[in-house]
Amino acid sequence: MIDELSAAMKISGSGLHAQSSRMRIVSENLANAQSTGRTPGADPYRRKTVTFKSELDRATGASLVSIKSIGVDRSPFAVRHEPGNPAADANGYVKMPNVNPLLEMADMREANRSYTANIQAITQARAMIAMNIDMLRNS
């Protein structure tokens, strides 16, 4: 019984880890939303993406969640006319990162929601363990 419940805690823990890594990627993207290249015509920061996979934990037989890969977004860069910028090419155009703050915000909200749900699952499992222990105490 306790085994199952501690497996539940372990699974939720892996969920927390996955969602916080996702949050880290989101904040990386947001922080670098204006990071252009250094040399003329160089590529700016490329938006990072994170994908999850479910992974069988052999000790407990449960599916943990883990980071599958951290990839990059292949969508094209926006260009802006800014001849004074050190990254501007011969025509005065600067490539800007393909980060869309609105998209990142939506991603962040979703990560937050999943994180809360995982916390809730841990709280429940803890309450169940506490009930088991209380039974020992009362009898």
Among 11, 25, 87, 88, binds other proteins (CB under 8 A): 11
- Nearest in space to 7 (alpha carbons), one of 64, 87, 88, 49: 64
CB 77 within 8 A of CB 44: yes
Tell me 43's DSSP state.
Answer: -
Q: Which is nearer to other proteins, 34 or 54 (CB)?
A: 54
Q: Which amino acid is at 46?
A: R
Which CB, 79 or 122, lies closer to other proteins? Answer: 122
At position 131, the amino acid (one-letter code) is M
Minimum Å gap between C-beta 86 and other proteins is 39
Q: Which amino acid is at 115?
A: Y
What is the token pair recorded at 126?
A: 């803890």
Quick one: how many helices (H) and strands (E) in the chain?
A: 2, 4
139 near other proteins, judged by CB under 8 A: yes
Q: What's 38's DSSP letter?
A: S
From candidates 7, 70, 79, 108, binder to other proteins by CB under 8 A: 7
Interaction mask 67-106, other proteins, x per CB under 8 A: ----------------------------------------
Residues that bind other proteins (CB under 8 A): 1-2, 4-5, 7-9, 11-12, 14-15, 18-19, 22, 51-54, 61-65, 110, 113-114, 117-118, 120-122, 124-125, 127-128, 131-132, 134-135, 138-139
